[in-house]
Amino acid sequence: DVKVTQSSRYLVKRTGEKVFLECVQDMDHENMFWYRQDPGLGLRLIYFSYDVKMKEKGDIPEGYSVSREKKERFSLILESASTNQTSMYLCASRRNEAFFGQGTRLTVV
Amino acid sequence: DAKTTQPNSMESNEEEPVHLPCNHSTISGTDYIHWYRQLPSQGPEYVIHGLTSNVNNRMASLAIAEDRKSSTLILHRATLRDAAVYYCNLLPGQNFVFGPGTRLSVLP
């Protein structure tokens, strides 16, 4: 019954590495979203996409990019990971109601 | 952009009803009111949504004011498992941006 799958539950990367966080949904949704969640700061929208090859910046896009080559897959890219990108990352997709993945806890050391 | 405001926290006793309010005075005519909740250590999950009429599902009820400037999520009998952060969103108006939500504590 899994609907939104994030590639890793936990990830540890080194400063300066290029990091890919993958999100796949099996519901044929057009809309997909990436958030990060930090204690005391809540869920913050990084990027979203309304269609294949389309992307829109959210509230905190700096230091991130995204890729949507296929409808079911939305990738978040950290071009050069930094310690302040240590966070929980959540992916979501929706047509009407939204479905979220279980999250990827990324630690950058 | 339309904005929602919710109380930071609420408390309820187990097996009692809970009414979680949300104000959205700048809602547009095409915005749907969505509610999500996030249990500890999990991603948010959908609870309910509506446009104008009150809505019921197996999880909760949504009461929408006649002028649509506020809504209330109703949990009919709170259980310990309902302890979570509850988020009220307007879609598409808020572009799926989340506010801080309401942290609901359920006391045994």
- Confidence band, pLDDT 50/70/90 cuts, at residue A83: very high
- Confidence band, pLDDT 50/70/90 cuts, at residue B1: low
- For residue A43, the chain B residues in CB contact (below 8 A) are 44, 87, 98
The yes-or-no verdict on residue B94 having pLDDT over 70 is: no
The yes-or-no verdict on residue A33 having pLDDT over 80 is: yes
- For residue A103, the chain B residues in CB contact (below 8 A) are 42-43
Burial of B73 (0-12, 13-18, 19+ CB in 10 A): buried
Contact across the interface for A102 and B46, Cβ inside 8 Å:
no
Q: For residue B48, give Cα distances in angstroms to A10, A38, A107, B86.
A: 30, 25, 33, 11
The yes-or-no verdict on residue A2 having pLDDT over 70 is: no
d(CA B77, CA A62): 43
pLDDT mean across residues, chain A: 94
The yes-or-no verdict on residue B92 having pLDDT over 90 is: no
Q: Which of residues 3-62 of A touch B (CB under 8 A)?
A: 31, 33, 35, 42-45, 48, 58-59
Contact across the interface for B97 and A100, Cβ inside 8 Å:
no
Q: What is the pLDDT of residue A42?
A: 86
The yes-or-no verdict on residue A105 having pLDDT over 80 is: yes
- Per-residue buried b or exposed e for B36-51, using 16+ beta carbons within 10 Å of the residue's own CB: bbbeeeebbebbbbbe
The verdict on A99 touching B (C-beta cutoff 8 Å) is yes
Decide: A83 and A19 in contact? Cβ < 8 Å: no
d(CA B84, CA B37): 6
Q: What is the pLDDT of residue B95?
A: 75
Structure tokens at B36: 């999500």
The whole-number average pLDDT for the span B44-49 is 95
How far does the CA of residue B48 sit from the closest CA of chain A (Å)?
8
What is the three-class DSSP state of A52?
coil
Q: What percent of chain A has pLDDT over 70?
A: 98
